[in-house]
């Protein structure tokens, strides 16, 4: 198969969909790989590295799209990339369609087959391609929040770990999944006063068993969220409903009553955010202030540590990339029900019910679509 690797063009996005090592796995199996020049330069993967792995170097994105069947990316395709997609393409990347109607409409119009990393499952029902980036984002959320709490950044001037004789900062984590548990590890490590809320008693039990009295676990109700958010120095939003828009757990009215200089890091912003006042920001302009509360809502947080993130992501995605290339899209989807869960758009139709619900559209089942694919 002809596999294409375009350079990412989202703001301050330096990750790449394939490392040179991943390219080598593909070329050794007889596939051709076309890499856009300088795709990995920013994180130490040179054109020479890709050529040594057997790839050909393309002058621009247009050449990559024109010469490839399978396009492997990291972030959702931007408008100019979506315009290059055709019915002959299979796109494998993060999509996050539920909060993004323009992208949804463009992918439908393209006729391409689009498989979303974030809804591919495993035998335990987990999300193995979302997990590595959620781990990174969860850990980064505490770093970002601690920085934003500095007075010069608009924050309260609170040191999360405190010092002898001074109480630590209070961190409230909404969601005890992959993002939340990784944020929790970082916050506890800094010595913060940490409370985590979740609606899964099993998740709370797991965290309590690990951390004991170093943290507080609470079942997530509206009253509990309100009480904790109002006391917080740093709120981290880490909730997820696979493929769907994130629920709004923190209202604008509640934000207006938070401590002046408190910080919100909404990691769920990729799926629309769990805070009503959250809007996606970029690494270039990561924060804004609403009612005296600093909001950090960067939609591609792991891009800030792009080399680590790329290596972690490739560890998870490579087996699926190889299956798509070796077997072809239809056979790979047919053989792996977990990969099929990632099918979001094909032949101008939605195949993800939660995305269809978010936009008031209709969807066919992935199984129905699979029967139509050539």
Q: Which residues are catalytic?
A: 96, 270
Q: How far apart are CA 80 and CA 281, in angstroms?
A: 20
The single residue listed with the structure tokens 């938070």 is 258
Q: Where are the alpha helices (DSSP H) in 119-250?
A: 131-148, 178-190, 201-211, 222-231
Q: How far apart are CA 16 and CA 117, in angstroms?
A: 14
DSSP 365: -
The token pair at 39 is: 């795709």
Q: Is 177 helix (H, G, I), strand (E, B) or coil?
A: coil
The token pair at 99 is: 């909060």
Please list the helix, strand and coil fractions of the chain in percent, rounded to the nearest 5, in that order: 45, 20, 40
Sheet holding 234-237, edge to edge: 215-219, 193-198, 170-174, 234-237, 263-266, 293-296, 287-290
């Amino acid at each position: 198969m002809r596999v294409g690797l375009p350079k990412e063009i989202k703001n301050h996005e330096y990750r790449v969909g394939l490392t040179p090592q991943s390219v080598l796995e593909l070329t050794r199996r007889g596939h051709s790989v076309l890499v856009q020049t300088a795709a990995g330069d920013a994180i130490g993967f040179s054109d020479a590295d890709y050529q040594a792995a057997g790839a050909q170097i393309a002058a621009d994105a247009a050449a990559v799209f024109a010469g490839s069947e399978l396009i492997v990316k990291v972030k959702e395709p931007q408008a100019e990339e979506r315009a290059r997609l055709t019915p002959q393409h299979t796109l494998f990347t993060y999509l996050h369609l539920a909060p993004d109607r323009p992208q949804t409409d463009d992918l439908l119009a393209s006729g391409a087959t689009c498989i979303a990393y974030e809804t591919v499952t495993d035998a335990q029902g987990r999300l193995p391609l979302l997990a590595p980036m959620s781990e990174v984002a969860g850990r980064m959320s505490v770093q970002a929040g601690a920085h934003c709490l500095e007075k010069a950044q608009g924050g309260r001037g609170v040191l999360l770990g405190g010092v002898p004789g001074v109480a630590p900062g209070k961190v409230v984590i909404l969601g005890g999944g992959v993002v939340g548990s990784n944020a929790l590890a970082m916050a506890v490590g800094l010595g913060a006063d940490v409370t985590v809320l979740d609606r899964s008693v099993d998740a709370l039990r797991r965290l309590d068993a690990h951390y004991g009295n170093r943290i507080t676990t609470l079942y997530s109700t509206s009253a509990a969220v309100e009480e904790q958010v109002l006391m917080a120095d740093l709120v981290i939003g880490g909730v997820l409903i696979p493929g769907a828009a994130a629920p709004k757990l923190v209202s604008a009215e509640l934000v207006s009553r938070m401590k002046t200089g408190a910080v919100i890091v909404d990691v769920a912003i990729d799926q629309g955010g769990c805070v009503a006042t959250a809007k996606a920001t970029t690494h270039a302009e990561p924060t804004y202030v609403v009612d005296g509360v600093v909001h950090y809502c960067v939609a591609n947080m792991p891009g800030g540590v792009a080399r680590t993130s790329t290596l972690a992501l490739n560890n998870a995605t490579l087996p699926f990339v190889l299956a798509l290339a070796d077997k072809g899209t239809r056979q790979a989807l047919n053989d792996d029900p977990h990969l099929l869960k990632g099918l979001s758009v094909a032949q101008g139709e939605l195949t993800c019910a939660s995305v269809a619900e978010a936009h008031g559209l209709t969807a066919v089942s992935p199984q129905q679509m699979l029967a139509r694919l050539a």
